[in-house]
Amino acid sequence: MSVERGFKIAVCGKGGVGKTLIAGTMARLLAKRGFKVLAIDVDSNPNLYSVLGIRLDTPLRPIVDREELIEERTGAKPGGWGLFFTLNPRVDDIPDKYSLISPEGIKLLTVGISRAGLGCMCPQNALVKALIDHIVLDRSEIVILDMEAGLEHFGRGTARGVDYLLIIIEPTIKSLETAKRSLLLARELGISRVWCILNKVKSSEEADYIIKKAIEMNLQVKAFIPYDINVVTAELLGVSIFDYNKNSPFILAIDKLCQYLLNDWYKGK
Ligand SMILES: Nc1ncnc2c1ncn2[C@@H]1O[C@H](COP(=O)(O)OP(=O)(O)OP(=O)(O)O)[C@@H](O)[C@H]1O
Ligand SMILES: [Mg+2]
């Protein structure tokens, strides 16, 4: 099989499991390997920029809050009632026009979340869906979506059409339960490659216990990321782990995960 395009990854999971840190670090490591990376922040409290090492001069203005853009592209004012709007708005120029650029050249598009309720077919959602669906990737391009915590985004269908869904879990039964529900919802969206990644592992006994529980719940843990004190120190110093220590166990584990994904996607090319 020959793979003519790069791929899209969505990173999801329970609150606080490490989605943003993992998504942002993957973006930086893939950019370092020479890939063009578009990082998309799909959280109502967007903070992916800081993991990417971007300093803000002006406050972030997510796409869903750009009323003029939404109206121009969909033909409807956000929040209007009973409106007709185009479900297939033009989106191809949006990443270039509205992205911030990180020191490694990663494009960051802050999309945000429409406040208009679960599953809503509102102009904002139409624009966001079209945006994520219609990004055309060449062979060396990768898109990484940092999702909001929990399961609501499945109802909005934001991640429909991604090539990989990474469900981040931590060593708690609650995060496994969220992962299980995410897996079922991902299948409904037709996402075929769903990988569970166990983060914040403190010991092999802990990992073994969680893997056993995951197997009982039909979840397959594909990779581990250790709990790393370097991450904590970096955070206290106000720098990202990538800038603090590129040889830290966290960074090395994320680099291995990137290699694993690349091998999987480009295998048999
Ligand atoms: N492997 C790790 N070792 C140590 N600390 C970690 C590790 N992974 C994540 N953390 C810490 O856990 C906290 C949550 O991480 P992060 O913000 O990436 O999670 P999130 O899933 O994006 O959260 P939210 O649901 O709020 O978006 C942060 O303080 C982060 O530094
Ligand atoms: Mg986050």
Please name which ligand lies nearest the alpha carbon of 41: 2
The atom of ligand 1 lying closest to the CA of 45 is 27
Residues contacting 259, CB < 8 A, separation 6+: none
Q: Using alpha carbons, select from 117, 226, 119, 221 the residue that is nearest to residue 175.
A: 221
- 124 and 114 Cβ atoms separated by less than 8 Å: yes
In a domain, 126, yes or no: yes
- The helix/strand/coil state of 237 is helix
In a domain, 31, yes or no: no
Q: How many beta carbons lie within 10 A of that of residue 121, not counting itself? A: 13
> Does the CB atom of residue 265 touch ligand 1 within 6 A?
no
End-to-end, the C-alpha distance of the chain in Å comes to: 5
Any idea what the CATH number is for the domain that residue 50 is in?
3.40.50.300
In a domain, 145, yes or no: yes
Q: Using alpha carbons, select from 107, 127, 124 the residue that is nearest to residue 41.
A: 107
Please name which ligand lies nearest the alpha carbon of 47: 2
> What is the model's pTM?
0.94
In a domain, 250, yes or no: no
Q: How many domains does the chain have?
A: 1
Tokens 């670090």 belong to residue: 25
Q: List the residue whose alpha carbon is closest to atom 18 of ligand 1.
A: 18
> Does the CB atom of residue 228 touch ligand 1 within 6 A?
yes
> Does the CB atom of residue 43 touch ligand 1 within 6 A?
yes
Torsion-angle region of residue 157: left (phi > 0), alpha (psi -120 to 50) or beta?
left
Bridge pairing between strands 193-201 and 107-110: unpaired
Condensed to tens digits (0 to 9), the pLDDT of residues 139-194 reads 889 999 999 998 888 877 888 889 999 999 999 999 999 999 999 999 999 999 99
- Domain containing 94: what range? 36-158
- Residue-level pLDDT, tens digit, the chain, 269 residues: 556 889 999 999 999 999 999 999 999 999 999 999 999 999 989 999 999 999 999 899 999 889 899 888 888 777 665 567 777 888 889 999 999 999 999 999 999 887 665 556 678 888 888 888 888 788 889 999 999 998 888 877 888 889 999 999 999 999 999 999 999 999 999 999 999 999 999 999 999 999 999 999 999 999 999 999 999 999 999 999 999 999 999 999 999 999 999 999 998 56
